[in-house]
Amino acid sequence: MSDYDLVVIGGGPGGYVCAIRAAQLGMKVACVEGRGALGGTCLNVGCIPSKALLHASHLYEEANGHFGQMGIVAEPTLDMVKMQTYRSDQVKQLTGGIAFLFKKNKVDWIEGWGRIDGPGKVSVKTPVDSDKTLTAKNIVIATGSEPASLPGVDVDEERVVTSTGGLTLKAVPRKMVVIGAGVIGLELGSVWRRLGAEVQVIEYLDQITPGMDIEVCKQFQKILSKQGIEFTLGAAVQSVEKGPRLTVSYKNRKDDSEGSVDADVVLLATGRKPYTSGLGLTEAGVKVTDRGMVETDANWRTNVEGIYAIGDVITGPMLAHKAEDEGVAVAETIAGQHSHVNYNVVPSVIYTDPEVASVGLTEEELLDQGRAYKVGKFPFMANGRAKAHFATDGFAKVLADKDTDRILGVHVIGPSAGELIHEYCVAMEFGAASEDVARTCHAHPTLSEVMREASMACGDGAIHA
Ligand code: NAI
């Protein structure tokens, strides 16, 4: 007899969702988490605290900007201590919420760091008692990811920070250099710029946010530059020297010339890597890829019977919602149900201002595949609601099959893009054509009308452009 039907290692969005779903399906479940709080990177040092700071810094900027135009006279001052308290309060409430959900669903939270001691066996290094061994019919590895390091850059989480330290700075740096123009660099770079820092982003590639639809990407860079973020593209950071200030040295890729820039804080945001240290994967015989990701089949099974893996630790985009969907699906699979995740319809969002959101294929991917497609675009400038909100930067772009009109990809840069995209996620799940969205009544005045008009532009044409 095993102690549990399922032991999940890791209490982030993949692991905790998996544990709850499995308990709802009648399994006896434990979730091993050693961080001292549930919710993983996302709730503790990722999505949630960054969104709190993005929200607060956005309002601060609005108060210094558009408030005056709307007749609101305010002279905001910044209380960094209070803003950071607001951030950590949000985190506490939400991580406490997961602990409550565990109790409600009778999931045992085993506090400590888990290690697989062979099929069906997990030992836990607990902070208080002596180590525990749990036996389980099934094990799900949901240990997530950690920031990737960069040679020559010594992270101390005070002056040279990753996303973790970048969320908890006690004061606004005069100058921040961000290494990497990916999601983390641009979101946190935006936070500190809005609060008053001079921000320079140094990126290895010749474009920001690799993988994004190029047209959106170009517009995004233009808007961020207009907001005051400086970009140095095509430059590989070599080192960060620590003196009274920090000196970031880089090499320009096109001619190998060297450059350097001083900073008060450096944010290292060059990607994340799977977190598997101390898990005992080698001893347990669980196969990992060259890049350290746990190998799984289409049903999240590893090569060892009864051991599964989901989320950032396996292949695919490192996104909380992708991990959550896999958490549900693997729980259902273990319960003997047929479950699946539609990886073609996983939205991605960058929570800057404006937001950037996309789902499905980019125009470049369609060109690569040699597919015949049509494009419908509509600008936020032509939308009444966006105009009233001073939020006219950006556009929505719908890509549909030239013959069948089936929606293949949607890319939006504009206000609330991260919410607007979901209309198309549902449409794509139902295999909709762009005409289906174009013929659906949308309330006026809403930002969603931009989404409809982009679909109209795929057919006979938008009305308001
Ligand atoms: P990223 O992979 O998005 O971007 C890293 C960037 O660093 C790339 O553009 C890369 O070319 C550049 N880079 C690498 N080495 C460099 C060097 N030596 N010098 C200059 N540039 C260099 O990684 P990021 O932003 O760290 O995010 C990590 C993960 O977290 C991503 O998978 C992301 O999807 C996820 N995430 C998602 C969020 C969201 O959905 N809103 C928010 C935050 C993170």
Long-range contacts of 432-435 (CB under 8 A, 24+ apart): 432/406, 432/407, 433/400, 433/404, 433/405, 433/406, 433/407, 434/376, 434/398, 434/400, 434/405, 434/407, 434/458, 434/459, 435/405, 435/459
Q: Are residues 15 and 139 in the same domain?
A: yes
pLDDT digits (tens, 9 = 90+) for 267-304: 999 999 999 999 999 999 999 999 999 999 999 999 99
Cβ(9)–Cβ(15) below 8 Å: yes
Atom from ligand 1 closest to the CA of residue 148: 26
Cβ(109)–Cβ(33) below 8 Å: yes
Would residue 232 be called left, alpha or beta, if left means φ above 0 and alpha means ψ between -120 and 50 degrees? beta
Q: What is the pLDDT of residue 119?
A: 87
Q: Are residues 290 and 381 in the same domain?
A: no
Domain closes at, from 294, 325, 341? 341
Atom from ligand 1 closest to the CA of residue 320: 40
Residues belonging to the chain: 465
Q: Are residues 362 and 432 in the same domain?
A: yes
Contacts of 245 (CB under 8 A, 6+ apart): 262, 263, 264
To test ligand 1's pocket by mutation, which of 54, 201, 268, 272 has the most ligand atoms within 8 angstroms of CB?
A: 272
Does the beta carbon of 4 lie inside 6 Å of ligand 1? Answer: no
Three state DSSP letters for 104-158: HCCCEEEECEEEECCCCEEEEECCCCCCEEEEEEEEEECCCEEECCCCCCCCCCC
Q: Is 444 a catalytic residue?
A: yes
Q: Are residues 378 and 410 in the same domain?
A: yes
Does the beta carbon of 152 lie inside 6 Å of ligand 1? Answer: no
Does the beta carbon of 18 lie inside 6 Å of ligand 1? Answer: no
Q: Where are the alpha helices (DSSP H) in 303-416?
A: 320-334, 363-369, 384-388
Cβ(381)–Cβ(387) below 8 Å: yes
Q: Are residues 100 and 176 in the same domain?
A: no
Given a cut of 80, is residue 309 above it in pLDDT? yes
Compute the radius of gyration of the chain from its Cα atoms.
23
Q: Are residues 406 and 424 in the same domain?
A: yes
Give the model's confidence band at 40: pLDDT under 50 very low, under 70 low, under 90 confident, else very high.
very high
In a domain, 75, yes or no: yes
Given a cut of 80, is residue 234 above it in pLDDT? yes
Q: Is the pTM of this model over 0.75?
A: yes
CATH of the domain at 408: 3.30.390.30
pLDDT digits (tens, 9 = 90+) for 411-463: 999 999 999 999 999 999 999 999 999 999 999 999 999 999 999 999 999 99
Average pLDDT in the 315-336 region?
98
- Rounded Cα gap, residues 240 and 193, in angstroms: 21
Average pLDDT in the 38-54 region?
98
Q: Are residues 112 and 178 in the same domain?
A: no
pLDDT digits (tens, 9 = 90+) for 250-261: 999 999 999 999
Number of domains, the chain: 3
CA 43 to the chain's CA centroid? 12
Average pLDDT in the 365-371 region?
98
Q: Are residues 165 and 111 in the same domain?
A: no
**How far is the centre of ligand 1, averaged over its atoms, from the C-alpha of 181 (Å)?**
7
Q: What is the pLDDT of residue 126?
A: 87
- Rounded Cα gap, residues 45 and 352, in angstroms: 17
Does the beta carbon of 202 lie inside 6 Å of ligand 1? Answer: yes
Partners of 139 in beta bridges: 7, 307
Does the beta carbon of 150 lie inside 6 Å of ligand 1? Answer: yes
pLDDT digits (tens, 9 = 90+) for 137-196: 999 999 999 999 999 999 999 999 999 999 999 999 999 999 999 999 999 999 999 999
The residue whose C-alpha atom lies closest to atom 43 belonging to ligand 1 is: 184
**How far is the centre of ligand 1, averaged over its atoms, from the C-alpha of 184 (Å)?**
6
> Is residue 274 within a helix (H) or strand (E), and if so which, with residue range?
strand 272-274
Residue 450 φ then ψ, to 5°: -65, -40
Query: Which tokens go with 306?
Result: 């009864």
Q: Strands 198-202 and 175-179: what pairing?
A: parallel
In a domain, 279, yes or no: yes
Does the beta carbon of 416 lie inside 6 Å of ligand 1? Answer: no
**How far is the centre of ligand 1, averaged over its atoms, from the C-alpha of 163 (Å)?**
10
Domain closes at, from 341, 374, 400? 341
**How far is the centre of ligand 1, averaged over its atoms, from the C-alpha of 269 (Å)?**
5
CATH of the domain at 181: 3.50.50.60
Q: Are residues 297 and 437 in the same domain?
A: no
The lowest-confidence range among 100-104, 116-120, 201-205, 307-311 is 116-120
Q: Are residues 15 and 122 in the same domain?
A: yes
pLDDT digits (tens, 9 = 90+) for 91-148: 999 999 999 999 999 999 999 999 999 889 999 998 876 789 999 999 999 999 999 9
Q: Strands 160-161 and 355-360: what pairing?
A: unpaired
Residue 111 φ then ψ, to 5°: -75, 125
In a domain, 155, yes or no: no
Domain closes at, from 325, 341, 357? 341
**How far is the centre of ligand 1, averaged over its atoms, from the C-alpha of 135 (Å)?**
38
Q: What is the pLDDT of residue 128?
A: 78
Q: Are residues 109 and 181 in the same domain?
A: no
Question: Which residues constitute the domain of residue 214?
Answer: 160-270
**How far is the centre of ligand 1, averaged over its atoms, from the C-alpha of 461 (Å)?**
37
Q: What is the pLDDT of residue 374?
A: 98
Exactly one of 58, 321, 422, 444 is catalytic; name it.
Answer: 444
Q: Are residues 219 and 171 in the same domain?
A: yes
